[in-house]
A and B are shown apart, each in its own frame.
Chain A
Amino acid sequence: MQTENYTITDSNLQQLLQALLSSGQKVVAPVRANNKVLFKEIKSASEVCSDHVQTTLSAKHLAFPRTEVLLQYKKTGKEVTINDFPFDAVPQTFLWGSRPCDAGGFAPLDGIFNWDSKDAIYNKRREQLTIISFSCTRHDDACFCTSMGGGPGNTAGSDMLITPAGNGTNIAEIITDKGKALFENYTSLFEEAMGADKEQYLTKIDKVFDTAEIKAKVEAFFESKVWKEQSARCMGCGACAYVCPACACFDIQDDKHGSKGSRLRCWDSCGFQLFTLHTSGHNPRETQARRWRQRVMHKFSYMPDRINVVGCSGCGRCSRACPADMNLAEHLEVIMKMEAEKI
């Protein structure tokens, strides 16, 4: 649909959130915990944190949980009962206060979970999810969304985008049918568009590289020693993948308890040594350098090739979370500046 513009005051915005909560809807929003900001289900509008740049974890768990119970089984005598995934129990969920890069992060996930076969569970959760993002008025030195084709006011992926315009007003953009449905339920809270250009209210993040250029570069440097140099300090944890809005690798595991159990889909990370370890003991990605190369290639080359979307929204979470200060934007910049003869 065509994006529609409206104005909404700060107090009406609070009322909108309050109305969603009062109507018993599941609302997930950034909440401060442990000096970190995390997306959590809220019960009251006062819990929402708004003075942060970015949450530590992304919002991907709303469509792709840390552990998804795919099915449950129980054996009684010779009878086996299997409980399929309860599709009807997936609640309608409103993600409130996400950033444009969070919303943009769902595009790679949508691509992966609909690539060859359509993942019914993921799609159900996605269908039930309405995303109300807030444009960025601040950023930090890990942010690089503009270099990934996004931006602090990018509408892609959000159902509604709110841009704070100062003086207690906000620009509200209704982007999708889901956003429209929400708008129509609470039309009285919105006012006519004021016609102001939202760009003036957004933070400015310099674009330092281009996704097409990166794709060409990383492919050309596949055999380069740069991977080894950059990953020298990588300790092999899964922090980068677990905080990433676009990382979708998972592991199917069985959780058995006597005669009953469940089949689970759990997050996994290509940074783990065990990720590609074969039963034979052979590991095709034996060193951290190969695993780092895979991470970068997957995001910036394989995913654009296969599903036509870059596996990164430039949110910078991996760089903030990395205990060894592996800064993705910095590493990509190094690769961009490399010349062919230096391989």
Chain B
Amino acid sequence: MKRLHQIVSELLASGKAKLVIGYEKGTGEKRRPAFISDANEVERLVFDSQCSHNLSVYLTKPEYKHVTEIAVFATPQTMRAVVRLAGENQFQDKKLSFIVMDQDQNALLIEGAEVLANHLGKEKIALSSAQEELLAKFEAMSREERFAYWKEQLSNCVKCYACRAACPMCYCTRCTVEVNQPQWISVPSSLQGNFEYHIMRAMHMAGRCVDCGSCEAACPLGLPLNIITRRMIKDIEASLGPDIVSMDTKSVLNTFQPNDKENFIR
């Protein structure tokens, strides 16, 4: 932790970071996002295996848009999101630094999104065996069973949009759910509106989702939202090739191949 505090103090002292977005101890055993711009407060910061928030979500919020020099604590999930966001030209006016943990749990400073992209390597989003197992269970369900499953799950959704707010890739200033001419997403909190919302969100995540799990973690009702995105990631890989996280790969729906294969268009 000493090395971590030293890196942050130096960043703030040198002016390379005007704001540091890290983690601190929260309620009970929880870890939570911490915002520091005063070197006297670095002692608050922690970075351990319990830190799970994807802090890149804050970089595109209006509150932090005007801050140019920001240092962010980055978990592997955060790194993937940063690289994707940089690839989508979201950080053009920013000078970002990242604090990551190396294999021996030592804090490491990385300056700039390009350097972070190199550090990450051309990574393919791979699912863990536990995730694969859960998906296999879901895959074994019939269409009717899946429909019934989501009817049950989405009957608890109150559309508080915590999933959207916590998602680093959901940075649109105006979301489809707020467009009412035409009214794309049904207004009443009926199941239909909830299906429409989650289908729409999945489609807008296609080839962009970095599988950080923030949406599911944020849901106060505990909906299994990652099934949606993970199944999509798997299907995209099977039909359109591996989903590589890098600054120069375009998301699958932003590009095409003349010989893309499918078996359902007549």
Given contacts A36-B222, A142-B27, 15 further A-B contacts (CB under 8 A): A34-B223, A36-B221, A57-B158, A69-B188, A141-B28, A232-B35, A235-B58, A235-B166, A238-B160, A238-B162, A267-B158, A272-B161, A289-B63, A323-B214, A325-B26
A-facing residues in B157-187 (Cβ within 8 Å):
158-162, 164-166, 178, 180, 183, 186-187
Which residues of A lie under 8 Å from residue B226 when comparing CB positions?
A: none
Docked complex Cα distance between A35 and B190 (Å): 22
Task: Answer yes or no: B18 CB below 8 A from chain A CBs.
Answer: no
Complex partner residue of B162 from A141, A237, A254, CB under 8 angstroms: A237
Q: Known interface pairs A232-B35, A253-B180, A255-B188. Does A38 touch B166 (Cβ–Cβ under 8 Å)? A: no
Per-residue CB contact flags for chain A residues 264-294 toward chain B (1 = under 8 Å, else 0) read 1011010011100000000000111100000
A234 to chain B minimum Cβ distance, whole angstroms, is 9
Known: A235-B57, A267-B158. A325 touches B221 (CB 8 A): no
CB contact between B164 and one of A237, A262, A267 (< 8 Å): that residue: A237
Query: Do A242 and B160 contact each other (CB < 8 Å), given the known contacts A34-B153, A266-B187?
Result: yes
Identity of the chain B residue whose Cβ is nearest the Cβ of A266 in the assembled complex: B187
* Contact (A239, B34) CB under 8 Å given A253-B187, A266-B189: no
Inter-subunit contact A323/B156 (CB<8 Å): no
Q: Which residues of B contact A334 (CB under 8 A)?
A: none
Query: How distant is the Cα of A330 from the Cα of B62 in the complex, in angstroms?
Result: 26
Judge whether B156 and A34 touch: CB under 8 Å: yes
* 0/1 string, B55-80, CB within 8 A of A gives 1: 00110011100000000000000000
Q: List 8 A-B contacts (CB under 8 A).
A: A229-B35, A233-B34, A237-B162, A238-B162, A241-B160, A264-B187, A323-B218, A325-B32
CB-CB under 8 A for A264 and B153, given A269-B160, A323-B217: no
Using CB atoms, name the residue of chain A closest to B190. Answer: A67
Q: Which one of A34, A57, A286, A323 lies within 8 Å of B166 (CB-CB)?
A: A323
Q: Which of B188, B214, B217 is packed against the most chain A CB atoms within 10 Å? A: B188
CB of A260 within 8 Å of the partner chain: no
Chain A interface residues (CB < 8 Å from chain B): 33-36, 38, 56-57, 66-67, 69, 141-142, 229, 232-233, 235-239, 241-243, 253-256, 262, 264, 266-267, 269, 272-274, 286-289, 319-321, 323-325, 327, 330
Contact of B26 among A66, A253, A327 (CB under 8 A): A327
**Contact partners of B190 in chain A: CB under 8 A:** 67
The answer to whether residues A325 and B27 also contact, given A235-B57, A237-B160, A266-B189 and a CB cut-off of 8 A, is yes
Instruction: Judge if B220 is at the interface, Cβ distance under 8 Å.
Output: yes
Bound-state Cα–Cα, A237 to B160, Å: 6
By the criterion CB–CB under 8 Å, are A256 and B162 in contact? no
Q: Given that A242-B158, A288-B63, A330-B27 are known contacts, is A237 also in contact with B183, CB under 8 Å in the complex? A: no
Please determine whether B165 and A236 come into contact, CB atoms closer than 8 angstroms: yes
**A274→B223 CA distance, assembly (Å):** 25
Q: Taking each of A34, A69, A330, which has the highest tally of chain B beta carbons within 10 Å of its own beta carbon?
A: A34
Q: How far is the CA of A211 from the CA of B43 in the complex (A)?
A: 33
Q: Are A324 and B53 in contact (CB under 8 A)?
A: yes
CB distance from A318 to the nearest CB of B (A): 9
Question: With A and B bound together, what is the CA distance between A237 and B32 in angstroms?
Answer: 16
Nearest-neighbour CB distance to chain A for B36, whole angstroms, equals 9
Residues on A with C-beta less than 8 A from B119 are none
Which of A239, A256, A289, A323 interacts with B183 by CB under 8 Å?
A256
Give bound CA distance, A239 to B180, whole Å.
22
Kindly report which residue of chain A lies nearest to residue B217, judged by CB atoms.
A323
- Complex CA gap A317/B54 in Å reads 23
Q: Given A57-B158, A233-B32, check contact A327 B27 (CB 8 Å).
A: yes
Indicate if the CB atoms of B222 and A237 lie closer than 8 Å: no
Residues of A within 8 Å of B32, CB to CB, are 233, 324-325
Q: Is the CB of A235 within 8 A of B61?
A: yes
Cα distance A59–B62 in the bound complex, in angstroms: 34
With an 8 A cutoff between CB atoms, is B207 at the interface? no
When distances are taken between beta carbons in the complex, the residues of chain A under 8 Å from B160 are 237-239, 241-243, 269
Cα distance A170–B28 in the bound complex, in angstroms: 32
* A323 near B165: Cβ-Cβ < 8 Å: yes
B87 beta carbon closer than 8 Å to chain A: no
Chain B residues with Cβ under 8 A from A286's Cβ? 62
- Shortest CB–CB separation between residue B198 and chain A, in angstroms? 15
Instruction: Report yes or no: B62 in contact with A287, Cβ–Cβ below 8 A.
Output: yes
Closest to B177 in A: A274
With A34-B222, A237-B218 in contact, is A323–B187 under 8 Å at CB?
no
Cα(A308)–Cα(B53), bound, Å: 39
Q: Check B188 against A67 for contact (C-beta < 8 Å).
A: yes
The answer to whether A38 and B165 have CB atoms under 8 Å apart is no
Q: How far is the CB of B68 from chain A (nearest CB, A)?
A: 17
Interface string of B223-239 (1 = CB under 8 A from A): 10000000000000000
In the complex, which residue of chain B has the Cβ closest to the Cβ of A330? B27
Q: Which residue of B lies closest to A69 (CB)?
A: B188
B contact residues around A243 at 8 Å (CB): 160, 220
Tell me the minimal C-beta distance from B78 to chain A in angstroms. 14
CA distance A131 to B180 in the complex (A): 38
Q: Return B67 CB to nearest CB of chain A, in Å.
A: 11
Nearest to A283 among chain B residues (CB) is B62
